[in-house]
Amino acid sequence: MATILMTLALSDTSGASLVALRYASALRERGHEVALAYGPTGRPGAPLHAPIVPRFEELGAVAEYVPALARPIGSAAPAAVAALARRVGAAAIVGIQQRDRAVALRAARRVGVPGLVTLQNRHIFWGAPPVRLVKRRYYQWHLRHATAAVCVSDHVGREAVQRFGLPPAKVHVVRNAVAPFPTVAPEVAAAVRAEFAAEGRVLLASVGRIDRQKAQDVLLAALAMLPPSSLQRLRVVLVGGTTMGARSGTATAFLAELEAGAERLGLQDVVRFSGFRSDVAAVLAAADAYVQPSRWEGFPLALLEAMTAGLPVVATEGAGRPDGFVDGTHGWIVPSEDPGALAAALERMLALTAGERREMGAADAALVAAAYRVEDMTRGFVDVVERAISEA
C-alpha cells in the first residue's frame, strides 16, 4: 500500500477540510498511509491554530506543520512539502484547497510523483485587477500539470475544463455527500429552538461562514421585502463565524455591515447572528426550514446536511441543484443575487402548513440518502488516487 500526502494551507474545519478528513479515513480503510502538511488558520505570524489536525492524527496520519503554507506563492512552501513527501515516502501528493494546490503540484513535480487536486468551489482570485490576473495565470499554469482533478460537482468540473484548460480525461466528478443525520434528543432541540424562536414562530436556519460568497446580505434584502405579517411569524438564525485566514479583516467588516444592515432594515428582532456553533445538528433539528442564499459554491455540504435533517430548503442556483431536486417537492431553487426571487420562495415556504413542511423535508432526506452516500464519494476519490499511482 502507498502513502498519500495531503496539503491544507488553512487547517480549519471548513467544508473542504472536513471532506479531506473523510478522504483520509477512506484511504486508511483501503490500507494506505496518510500524511498531512498543514498551515495555520490565522494571519501570517499569528499563533498556530489548527483545529482539524487532531482529527487527522486520530486516523493515524502523520501531520507536520509547514509555516511556509501561510504564504503559498514562492518556492519555500513547495520545497518544504517536497521534503516531507520524501521523508514519508509519499507515492502521491493531493492539494485540497485553492491556496495550496499549486504548492502540492510543484512539490509533486520535485519528488517525481503524481500530483492531484480536489476542486470544491468556483475559483475566485482576490486583489486588484492586475493581481487577480497574475494569480489566475499562475494557478492555471500549475493546475494544467495535475495528474487528476477530483471535482465535487458537474459545474466545477466544467470550469476546470473550460476556464483552466484541463483535459477532460483528467477531470473526475465525485459528488459531495454527507453521513446520515445524527440523533438529536428532543429536549436538546427544544432548548435550541427556545433560544431563537418563541412558540408559534417559523424558525429558518442558514449555516455558513460570514462571507460575501455566502450572500447573507442578499438574504437580508429578501427578508426586508416580506410583508410585516410574514416577518412577524418568522425568525432567522445565521450560524457561522468569520474566517480566521488571510481575509479575516474583510470578513469581520462584512459581518459589521450585515449587523448594521439588519438594524437599518428593521430586522433586528427577526435575524440572529449566532456566530460559530459546535451544535449545528441541534440547530437543524430545531429549525422548520433552511435557506442557502450563496452567490457561488462548488456544492455545499451545509445544504445536503439540512436536507438530511429533514428540512425543506430554499437555495440559490449558486449553491447548485442536487440531482433529482424538484421545485415544490423538495423546496425551491432561485437565481443567485436576486432578493425578489428569494423573497418569493420564502413566502411560498411560509405559506405551507407545518405538516406540508415536514412532508417536503422527508422528501429531501430521502433524496440525499439515495443519491449522496458518503461511501460513494470516498470510494470515488480513492479510486482516482489509486489509478494515478498505478499509472505513474
CA distance linking residue 138 with residue 124, whole number of Å: 13
* pLDDT, tens only, 305-364: 999 999 999 999 988 788 899 999 999 999 999 999 999 999 999 999 999 999 999 999
The per-residue pLDDT for 199 is 84
* Cβ-based neighbour number of residue 173 at 10 Å: 17
Residues of the chain with pLDDT under 70: 42-49, 243-248
Phi (first) and psi of residue 23, to 5 degrees: -60, -45
Instruction: Please tell me the class of the 186-371 domain.
Output: alpha beta
Classify burial at 47, counting beta carbons within 10 Å of its beta carbon; exposed 0-12, middle 13-18, buried 19 or more: exposed
**Cell digits for 265?**
432594515
- pTM reported for the whole predicted model: 0.83
CATH of segment(s) 3-177+373-391: 3.40.50.2000
The per-residue pLDDT for 50 is 77
Ranges in the chain annotated CATH 3.40.50.2000: 3-177+373-391, 186-371
The per-residue pLDDT for 43 is 52
Classify burial at 278, counting beta carbons within 10 Å of its beta carbon; exposed 0-12, middle 13-18, buried 19 or more: exposed
